[in-house]
Structure 1
Amino acid sequence: MSVLVKICGITNADDALAAVEAGADALGLNFWPGSPRYVTRERARQILSVIPGGVLRVGVLVDETAAPVEGLDVLQIHGEGAQVPAGRWWRAIAAGKAIRETIEKTPGAEAFLVDTPSGQARGGTGRTFDWTLAAGLEAKVILAGGLAPENVADALAAARPWGVDACSRLERAPGVKDHARMRAFVRAVREWEERA
């Protein structure tokens, strides 16, 4: 089975199309106003309209569980206060020694995105963590936090996750993707799969 490749923090249709052309399996749109990658509902509808079928459309929410727009396939929930949403959802959890415990206490989540938050930032920090903390878990794990073309093969080898998620290290500026780096990231994942 292929590793799911998610590119998060998509803020415009051009970047969405470039991510799809690069081979991304999922695109994340951030609906948290505190993020430099925040998209309004109207902007999200424009972006979603260009994403072809077969590519997962992920809505990134903080302390909310209601889909802000139609057309999202999965909700990625950050924050401890959020209730369990209806439909498909992924729980974002902070990297640390309590990963396994958090997974065991979270029924119903399809997958768990393990990220490196920093202060008020709920992801997209560009900071990595000890990937072995996410290895050997009895759940679908998506590694996030500082992943880039240069280190994603090491992360995959260390944790053998179900998926990987990259954001800030694929950008020219916050919210503006570097199309060449997106292609390099997806290529690095697929090359690792061929060798593994």
Structure 2
Amino acid sequence: MRTRAKICGITRSQDVQSAVDAGADAIGFVFYPPSPRAVTSVQAQQLIKKIPAYVQVVGLFVNATAQEITDLLADVPLDVLQLHGDETPEQCIEIARQSKRRWYKAIQVKPDLDLINEIQRYQQAGASAILLDAWHPDLKGGTGVQFDWSKFPKLDIPLILAGGLTPENIQEAIQTTQPFAVDVSGGVESAKGIKDQQLIERFMQGVHCGSAK
């Protein structure tokens, strides 16, 4: 199976183009103001105009309310929601009901977490996928840290691998975990929020090579 790839935390139109040209399946925008990769709804509106059909637009939210997300969707036509905070399954259900969007939940792989049970909680709530990210005591994604890939489970829900992925380790990551998709942000940047075209190209080449093995 081909591994899909999302380039997240994009803030510039040239980076949208680089991701699309390199074959990314999805582009991610961060709607979390404390993040150095955050964009406003106005910025996102302009950037989305550069994204062609068949490339999905994903919005990343951290502990946003259903109303806040719905209000943003009135201006920004997102395809899928990535809920990357402490949202409970019940809150995710309510966000989906109000927004009328598919969603997936990001779970930080803490050392003492019952990962299978946590995944199943959100699967039962209607998640389209689960993203597994490295745990950090302060940061919500974009940590540049990877977790123990040997803990990556095999389940009957699409699993997305994130956390510390780079052009150098992406092939090994895919071959070790066999994820449905991978998600990269800092690993293809020259500075926070500033993507590097060559790093994106090398990352996507690694995705394709890793999938082919």
Could you say which TM-score interval applies, normalised by the shorter chain?
over 0.9
CA deviation after TM superposition for structure 1 residue 120, in Å: 2.5
Letter of the structure 1 residue corresponding to residue 155 of structure 2: L
What is residue 54 of structure 2 aligned with on the other side?
54
Answering whether residue 172 of structure 2 is matched by residue 154 of structure 1, we say yes
Answering whether residue 83 of structure 2 is matched by residue 77 of structure 1, we say yes
What is residue 106 of structure 2 aligned with on the other side?
92
**What is the alpha-carbon distance in structure 2 between the residues aligned to residue 78 and residue 169 of structure 1?**
18
Structure 2: runs of 5 or more not aligned: none
Answering whether residue 107 of structure 2 is matched by residue 101 of structure 1, we say no
What is residue 63 of structure 1 aligned with on the other side?
63
- Aligned with 1:50: secondary structure? coil
CA deviation after TM superposition for structure 1 residue 179, in Å: 0.6
CA deviation after TM superposition for structure 1 residue 139, in Å: 1.6
Q: Which range moves more in the overlay, 170-179 or 56-65?
A: 56-65
Asked if 2 retains the 8 angstrom alpha-carbon contact of 1:135 and 1:161, the reply is no
What is residue 43 of structure 1 aligned with on the other side?
43
- Aligned with 2:49: secondary structure? helix
Identity of aligned residues (%): 40
Asked if 2 retains the 8 angstrom alpha-carbon contact of 1:4 and 1:25, the reply is yes
CA deviation after TM superposition for structure 1 residue 193, in Å: 1.7
User: How many residue pairs align between the two structures?
Assistant: 195
Asked if 2 retains the 8 angstrom alpha-carbon contact of 1:135 and 1:160, the reply is no
1:5-16 matched pairs, under 5 angstroms: 5-16=5-16
- Aligned with 2:57: secondary structure? strand
**What is the alpha-carbon distance in structure 1 between the residues aligned to residue 10 and residue 192 of structure 2?**
10
CA deviation after TM superposition for structure 1 residue 71, in Å: 1.3
The 1:194/1:81 distance shift into structure 2, 3 A limit, reads: closer
Of 159, 165, 175, the match for 2:183? 165
Structure 1: runs of 5 or more not aligned: none
What is residue 210 of structure 2 aligned with on the other side?
192
**Of the two, which has the highest radius of gyration?**
2
TM-score (norm 2): 0.87
Letter of the structure 2 residue corresponding to residue 3 of structure 1: T
CA deviation after TM superposition for structure 1 residue 80, in Å: 2.0
What's the C-alpha RMSD, in Å, of the aligned pairs?
1.3
**What is the alpha-carbon distance in structure 2 between the residues aligned to residue 95 and residue 180 of structure 1?**
30
Structure with bigger helix share is 2
**What is the alpha-carbon distance in structure 2 between the residues aligned to residue 21 and residue 10 of structure 1?**
14
CA deviation after TM superposition for structure 1 residue 137, in Å: 2.3
What is residue 19 of structure 1 aligned with on the other side?
19
CA deviation after TM superposition for structure 1 residue 121, in Å: 1.3
